[in-house]
């Protein structure tokens, strides 16, 4: 892991320009928070492929659906809390039900809009969208993987929800990292405990894994960037190899990565799962790291949880 | 296809009304009232105005039709079947398991449906997206959207209207089927709309107020609109009668989403036949 930090929304902002230049069917549909969601370069360099429909998210979803029926590949760009819940039924009716090729690309995932407070922190979005048929739900773990997964989402035919961080997070991967939608990325192999994380918690999980290895506990670590479709095979492998799984996410522990992993584990049997994430509570205006601490989303908590699992 | 005369269109709309009544009677489920209020406008679009090819439903240059008030799809299904998008026998399967004719229009199941609708308030935004795509691609197709007056209580309609103005969508024509009834009662009582035509005008639309059952007025208005390329989206504010053409359904809120029984079915068909004979 490098010392460098970058927000994944910046990865999106850079990649979407590259993609838009390659394919003039790629559109950005902004809702007046383009500056904050990093579409400024796209707007400047590709004005013919750029729309701004004002502060009107529901309409943005419908406009995108209409564009998609005419062969365009629109990326609706907003904050996670609006791109999932404000637009939810429009996404369901006009994008997912007819399986149109619309991407919802959202900055400000999880508690990363820390100082903005609870109204802007998005802790339910991935869970909400995970329950809609035909939707794919992704959160990249760093800048390089954000770029890669944006590219993959553009190539993929169908609705995709992409969730980025507002704040800078450590850069984990090299620029040429290979990732596939729906396939967990194995960061390291291990035999005692499996840690499955996504988004901005992957770097925290890596820190915990390092400490656990130092203490003699072997950790299998997965970046589960796609929570739907979930890589069931990767979860089953964790169960076979360790029988002990810890999930880590910057999302409510209800309905997100942890729940998705539990669904597989419960059906398979033979595994214990501990979920680390937002404790089904709203946040507040506070520093990002403090919000993580308030919910136990820390390397220390992962280490302690792993050690507790090892005792049983 | 030769353009139909006003008289031929009037006859066609009555024939479509009969098909609507039969479909809903057969299914014992569906929405007759709004199908009948929209019938004349839908007829004018499908049988005269729109540039479409029933043998090629995905033709890129076709005009689009968005039935935002998706629950009145029986009138759209009847039109599509009559034009040959699918076999007329399929109309008998409305709302049945496995049918392409879902309770609300499904673009992936039914040929000729340009967008799936059914949740009110959402179709206009989709039409705006299609019209923007047409402008961007320098295509001359147009997008026709039909909304209900009750439906305009949804805020998204007005978000979409703003966007139509901003992007100067003179290739977008919105019909407001102003039948003044919605599920729970009289629209002006459930939630007064004041004057929807004037609202669209205030949002930057050219507005044409017409009698939505006067075929000559409908076609004359469409002729005028075809000639007007002024950068402004169009609104045809059409005063209509819910249940139009079947005496006991007219202006009766109770016929929003109820199927006729055998006796009512027979009477409706007889009344429509009499109107055809009187033409």
Mind spelling out the 3-state secondary structure of chain A?
Answer: CCCCEEEHHHHHHHHHHHHHHHCCCEEEEECCCHHHHCCHHHHHHCHHHEEECCCCHHHHHHHHHHHHHCCCEEEEEEEHHHHHHHCHHHHHHHHHCCCCCCEEEEECEECCCHHHCCCCCECCHHHHHHCCCCCEEECCCCHHHHHHHHHHHHHCCCCEEEECCCCEEECCCCCCCCCCCCCCEEEECCCCEEEEECHHHHHHHHHHHHHHHHCCCCEEEEECCEEECCCHHHHHHHHHHCCEEEEEEEEECCCCHHHHHHHHHHHHCCCEEEEEEECCCCCCCCCHHHHHHHCCCCHHHHHHHHHHHHHC
Q: Which of A170, A203, A226 is the last residue of a domain?
A: A170
Pairing of strands B172-178, B234-239: parallel
- Which of A15, A57, A94, A249 is an active site residue? A57
Answer yes or no: is A122 within a domain.
yes
If asked whether residues A209 and A155 sit together in one domain, one would say: no
If asked whether residues A44 and A141 sit together in one domain, one would say: yes
Answer yes or no: is A1 within a domain.
no
**pLDDT, tens digit (0-9, with 9 covering 90-100), for A151-210:** 999 999 999 999 999 999 999 999 999 999 999 999 999 999 999 999 999 999 999 999
The boundaries of the domain holding residue A137 are 7-170
Distance (Å, whole) CA A224 – CA A205? 12
**Does ipTM come in above 0.90?**
yes
Q: Mapping DSSP to helix (H, G, I), strand (E, B) and coil, where does residue B62 land?
A: coil
**pLDDT, tens digit (0-9, with 9 covering 90-100), for B29-65:** 999 999 999 999 999 999 999 999 999 999 999 999 9
Q: Which of A170, A204, A233 is the last residue of a domain?
A: A170
**pLDDT at residue A312 in the model:** 74
The residue of chain B nearest to residue A74, with distances taken between CA atoms, is B129
Partner-chain residue, chosen from A51, A62, A74, that has the shortest CB–CB distance to B122: A62
Answer yes or no: is A180 within a domain.
no
The residue of chain B nearest to residue A56, with distances taken between CA atoms, is B159
Answer yes or no: is A160 within a domain.
yes
If asked whether residues A162 and A203 sit together in one domain, one would say: no
**A59: which chain B residues are within 8 Å (Cβ-Cβ)?**
125, 128, 156, 159-160, 162-163
Contact B125 A98 (CB under 8 A): no
**B62: which chain A residues are within 8 Å (Cβ-Cβ)?**
none
Answer yes or no: is A175 within a domain.
no
Confidence of residue B256 (pLDDT cuts 50, 70, 90): very high
**Sign, Cα dihedral of A130, A136, A140, A146:** negative
**pTM for this structure?**
0.96
Distance (Å, whole) CA B81 – CA B57? 12
CB A60 within 8 A of CB A20: no
Q: Which helix (H) or strand (E) holds B74?
A: helix B73-83
If asked whether residues A226 and A256 sit together in one domain, one would say: yes
Q: Compute the mean pLDDT over every residue in chain A, rounded to the nearest whole number.
A: 97
If asked whether residues A246 and A122 sit together in one domain, one would say: no
If asked whether residues A206 and A268 sit together in one domain, one would say: yes
How distant is the Cα of A236 from the closest Cα of chain B, in angstroms? Answer: 35
Q: Which of A141, A170, A199 is the last residue of a domain?
A: A170
**B60: which chain A residues are within 8 Å (Cβ-Cβ)?**
70-71
**B131: which chain A residues are within 8 Å (Cβ-Cβ)?**
66
If asked whether residues A159 and A207 sit together in one domain, one would say: no
DSSP state for residue B48 in the 8-state scheme: I
Distance (Å, whole) CA B218 – CA B216? 5
Confidence of residue B1 (pLDDT cuts 50, 70, 90): low
If asked whether residues A39 and A159 sit together in one domain, one would say: yes
**pLDDT at residue B61 in the model:** 98
C-alpha dihedral over B263, B266, B272, B277, to 10 degrees?
Answer: -130
Is the pLDDT assigned to residue B2 strictly greater than 80? no
CATH of the domain at A202: 3.40.50.920
Is the pLDDT assigned to residue B139 strictly greater than 90? yes
Indicate the length of chain B as a whole number.
279
**pLDDT, tens digit (0-9, with 9 covering 90-100), for A262-305:** 999 999 998 999 999 999 999 999 999 999 999 999 999 999 99
If asked whether residues A118 and A88 sit together in one domain, one would say: yes
Answer yes or no: is A177 within a domain.
no
What distances in angstroms separate CA A126 from CA A102, A139, A290, B229, one per listed residue?
16, 9, 22, 44
Pairing of strands A50-52, A73-79: unpaired
**pLDDT, tens digit (0-9, with 9 covering 90-100), for B185-225:** 999 999 999 999 999 999 999 999 999 999 999 999 999 99
Answer yes or no: is A255 within a domain.
yes
**pLDDT at residue A2 in the model:** 73
Answer yes or no: is A2 within a domain.
no
Partner-chain residue, chosen from B64, B108, B133, that has the shortest CB–CB distance to A67: B133
Percentage of residues in chain A having pLDDT higher than 90: 98
Q: What are the phi and psi torsion angles at A130 (to 5°)?
A: -65, -25
Q: Which helix (H) or strand (E) holds B127?
A: helix B123-136
If asked whether residues A123 and A209 sit together in one domain, one would say: no
How distant is the Cα of A101 from the closest Cα of chain B, in angstroms? Answer: 13
Q: Mapping DSSP to helix (H, G, I), strand (E, B) and coil, where does residue B185 land?
A: strand
Number of domains in chain A: 2
Interface mutation target, options B105, B121, B129, chain A, most CBs of A under 10 Å: B129
If asked whether residues A20 and A156 sit together in one domain, one would say: yes
Closest CA to A1 of A305, A302, A282, A299: A299
The residue of chain B nearest to residue A65, with distances taken between CA atoms, is B126
Interface mutation target, options A68, A93, A101, A132, chain B, most CBs of B under 10 Å: A93
CB B32 within 8 A of CB B38: no
Contact A59 B167 (CB under 8 A): no
Interface size, chain A vs chain B, as Cβ–Cβ contacts under 8 Å: 106
**B123: which chain A residues are within 8 Å (Cβ-Cβ)?**
62
Is omega for the bond preceding A199 within 30 degrees of 0, making it cis? Answer: no
Tokens representing B85 are 């998008």
Write the burial class of residue B118 (CB in 10 Å: 0-12 exposed, 13-18 middle, 19+ buried): buried
Contact B162 A54 (CB under 8 A): yes
* DSSP-assigned beta bridge partners for residue B234: B173, B206
If asked whether residues A99 and A131 sit together in one domain, one would say: yes
Residue A45 a catalytic site member: no
CATH of the domain at A51: 3.40.50.970
């Amino acid at each position: 892991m490098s010392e460098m930090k970058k927000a994944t929304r910046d990865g999106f902002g850079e990649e979407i320009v590259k993609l838009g230049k390659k394919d003039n069917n790629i559109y950005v549909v902004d809702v007046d928070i383009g500056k904050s969601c990093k579409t400024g370069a796209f707007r400047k360099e590709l004005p013919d492929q750029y729309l701004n429909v004002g502060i009107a998210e529901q309409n943005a979803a419908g406009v995108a659906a209409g564009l998609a029926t005419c062969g365009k590949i629109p990326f609706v760009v907003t904050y996670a809390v609006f791109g999932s819940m404000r637009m939810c039924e429009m996404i369901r009716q006009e994008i997912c039900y007819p399986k149109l090729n619309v991407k919802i690309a959202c900055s400000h995932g999880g508690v990363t809009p820390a100082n903005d407070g609870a109204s802007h922190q998005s802790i339910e979005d991935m869970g909400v969208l995970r329950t809609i048929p035909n939707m794919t739900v992704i959160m990249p773990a760093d800048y390089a993987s954000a770029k890669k997964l944006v590219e993959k989402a553009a190539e993929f035919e169908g609705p995709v929800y992409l969730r980025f961080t507002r704040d800078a997070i450590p850069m984990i991967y090299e620029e040429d990292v290979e990732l596939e939608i729906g396939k967990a990325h194995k960061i390291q192999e291990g035999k005692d405990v499996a840690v499955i994380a996504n988004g901005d918690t992957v770097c925290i999980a890596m820190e915990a894994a390092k400490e656990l290895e130092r203490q003699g506990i072997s950790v299998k670590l997965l970046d589960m960037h796609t929570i739907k479709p979930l890589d069931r095979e990767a979860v089953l492998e964790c169960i076979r190899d360790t029988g002990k799984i810890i999930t880590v996410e910057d999302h409510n522990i209800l309905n997100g990565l942890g729940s998705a992993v539990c669904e597989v584990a419960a059906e398979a049997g033979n595994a214990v799962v501990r979920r680390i994430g937002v404790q089904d509570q709203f946040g507040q205006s506070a520093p990002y790291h403090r919000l993580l601490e308030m919910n136990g989303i820390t390397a220390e908590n992962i280490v302690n949880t792993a050690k507790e699992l090892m005792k049983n | 296809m030769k353009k139909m005369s006003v008289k031929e269109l009037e006859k066609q709309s009555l024939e479509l009304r009969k098909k609507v009544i039969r479909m809903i009677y057969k299914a014992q489920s569906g929405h007759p009232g709004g199908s009948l209020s929209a019938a004349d406008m839908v007829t004018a679009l499908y049988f005269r105005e729109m540039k479409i090819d029933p043998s090629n439903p995905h033709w890129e240059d076709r005009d689009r039709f968005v039935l935002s008030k998706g629950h009145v799809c029986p009138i759209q299904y009847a039109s599509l079947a009559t034009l040959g998008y699918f076999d007329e026998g399929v109309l008998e399967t409305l709302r049945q398991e496995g049918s392409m004719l879902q309770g609300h229009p499904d673009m992936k199941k039914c040929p000729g449906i340009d967008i799936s609708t059914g949740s009110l308030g959402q179709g206009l935004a989709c039409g705006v997206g299609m019209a923007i795509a047409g402008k961007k691609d320098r295509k001359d197709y147009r997008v026709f959207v039909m909304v209900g007056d009750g439906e305009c209580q949804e805020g998204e309609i007005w978000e979409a209207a703003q966007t139509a103005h901003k992007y100067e969508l003179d290739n977008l024509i919105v019909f407001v089927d102003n039948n003044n009834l919605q599920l729970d009662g009289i629209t002006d009582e459930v939630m007064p709309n004041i004057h929807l035509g004037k609202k669209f005008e205030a949002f930057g639309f050219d507005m044409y107020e017409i009698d939505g059952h006067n075929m000559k007025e409908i076609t004359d208005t469409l002729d005028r609109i075809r000639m007007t390329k002024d950068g402004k989206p169009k609104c045809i504010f059409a005063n209509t009668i819910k249940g139009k053409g079947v005496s006991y359904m007219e202006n009766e809120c109770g016929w929003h989403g109820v199927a006729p029984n055998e006796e009512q079915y027979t009477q409706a068909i007889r009344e429509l036949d009499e109107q055809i004979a009187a033409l």
